[in-house]
Amino acid sequence: MACYNHPNAPSIESCSRCDKQLCGMCSNFSEIGVYCEKCAKAIESERFVTAKSDLFKKDDSRPSTMVETTNIPVAKTRDTRDRGIIWLGIGGAASMLFFSLMLYAYPTVFEFDPAVAAARASEQALEDCRLVFEEIGYMLSRGQTPDQSVRCPQSNGPNVIATTGDVVRVSHPNPGAYGMVAIYVPNNSHEVVFE
């Protein structure tokens, strides 16, 4: 006869429980007989359950409700631990993202050398002023007169507007605050001039 699982292999035994024909690879030998894979697992499970039941029957000091609830917390504990690990990963990723964005947006926050921090703050103030004067240059190139409210943050007074023929030039009132002699923009160009 042929094996139930492998039709090309000859049968050497039959399952002691379900009588399926088995080849040498499919036979599971035990002290109580030869079994197919499915029956061998079923017998192993039955033995395990019987052993655990006998253990609980011998221990009469345990309350009967304890037998019913002992397997439930194991699944919940693992599920809770897995959720905790997932949330820990999400929290860690969010923290890393927050700190990297903060470091990008405010590079001087973590500067501990006062001279380096002051130099970066001075560079940022000069760049902010350049952007304001660039905006004024665009206004001049469109033929608009800039409002006095459009000025650099560290300016101690209104911008100086000088007209020479067709050329209108708007200058910073106190370029020395940035270490410059002159900061201005003419109406024929929106490029800011630093001297």
Query: For residue 18, which of 2, 46, 1, 37 has the smallest C-alpha distance?
Result: 37
The two structure tokens encoding residue 5: 């699982």
Phi then psi for residue 185, to 5 deg, are: -145, 130
The two structure tokens encoding residue 92: 């860690």
Q: pLDDT, tens digit, for every residue of 30-60?
A: 888 899 999 999 988 888 888 888 877 765 5
Q: What does the domain layout of the chain look like in residue ranges?
A: 13-68, 71-104, 114-194
The two structure tokens encoding residue 72: 């439930």
Q: pLDDT, tens digit, for every residue of 146-173?
A: 887 888 877 778 888 888 888 889 889 8
Total Cβ atoms within 10 A of residue 43? 17
Are 193 and 184 contacting, i.e. CB atoms less than 8 angstroms apart?
yes
Question: Would you state the pLDDT for residue 35?
Answer: 92
Q: If you average pLDDT over residues 63-91, what whole number do you get?
A: 66
Q: Measured in Å, how far apart are the chain's first and last C-alpha atoms? A: 103
Helices assigned H by DSSP within the chain: 37-58, 64-69, 72-105, 114-141
- Rounded Cα distance between 59 and 72, Å, is 20
Q: What are the respective helix, strand and coil percentages of the chain, to the nearest 5?
A: 50, 15, 35
Is residue 140's pLDDT more than 90? no
> What's the pTM value of the predicted model, to 2 decimals?
0.44
Residue 69 pLDDT grade (very low, low, confident, very high; cuts 50, 70, 90): very low
pLDDT, greater one: 80 or 167: 167
